[in-house]
Amino acid sequence: MRSLLGILLVCISGTTTMPSSQSNKLPDPTTKPWTVVEGGITRADTSKKQLALIFTGGDFGEGATHILDILKSHNIKASFFVTGDFLRKRQLLEPLKRAIADGHYVGPHSDKHPLYCPWEDRKKTLVTEQEFKQDLQKNIDDLKKLGALKAGLTYFIPPYEWYNADQSRWSREMNILLFNFTPGSGSNRDWAPEDHKSFVPSQKIIDDILTYEKKDLHGLNGFLLLLHVGSQRQDKTFLLLDPLLTKLEKRGYTFARIDEILAP
């Protein structure tokens, strides 16, 4: 009788720990319906009318509270990725804690926001493996102290959204999944200030996203749509988030966190 009870307890214990183990296992991107560039995932399954909102923050985060309010009003969960420099700004900690409390994914964007490879030669690596891993681990440790990344796989979007196969491989060695935004819509241009050559008015950025949705064969299916939590520009794109989400919802899109749309 005791022997049978022991077997039952082992079986029960095994079934309770298995899901946690599976959720922490890195998937092989080549076996998934994902787009992969330099080892990093740039688009999820295009057969599903679903996309992920990705917000990154480095030096600026003045839009955090407004963004969280809009997401709450639409009952949408998004993903926020911030640097160590972002975390070291006291005024930005409360909205970040709220993002965690509201159920959004909050993950790493590097500690010091280094450039991993030259813009003109992506194959060349500017940081050592040790520098990369130490910088990223510090960012992760600080986020955990804040209450983020409590369980499951860690997702990571590189600084400047620029990387190569070295960083993808080093991330995997740390059991971290590197991804990047889906190119094409031009949403990532919302960082550029008015005096920069890359500046585009916010309304045009929003219009271009919606125009691209009609041009792409798959629309925005599986899109990892990148916007910034803040910027030094005066024309704040995040103020147009509400009408953007309303129009995308009317077109039939649903929204998922990064750990849902890129689930193992």
Q: Is the pLDDT of residue 19 over 50?
A: no
Q: What is the DSSP letter of 67?
A: H
Average pLDDT over residues 226-243: 98
| Model pLDDT, residue 15 | 35
| pTM score of the predicted model | 0.90
Q: What letter represents residue 141's amino acid?
A: D
* pLDDT score for 17: 33
pLDDT digits (tens, 9 = 90+) for 143-194: 999 999 998 999 999 999 999 999 999 999 999 999 999 999 999 999 999 9
Confidence at residue 23, expressed as pLDDT on a 0 to 100 scale:
61
pLDDT at 20 over 70: no
- The closest of 137, 108, 153, 104 to 262, measured between CA atoms, is 153
For 212: left if phi > 0, alpha if psi spans -120 to 50, otherwise beta; the answer is alpha
Residue 13 is predicted with a pLDDT of 38
% residues pLDDT > 70 (the chain): 91
Quote the pLDDT of residue 36. 97
pLDDT in tens, 105-140: 999 999 999 999 999 999 999 999 999 999 999 999
pLDDT above 70 (res 18): no
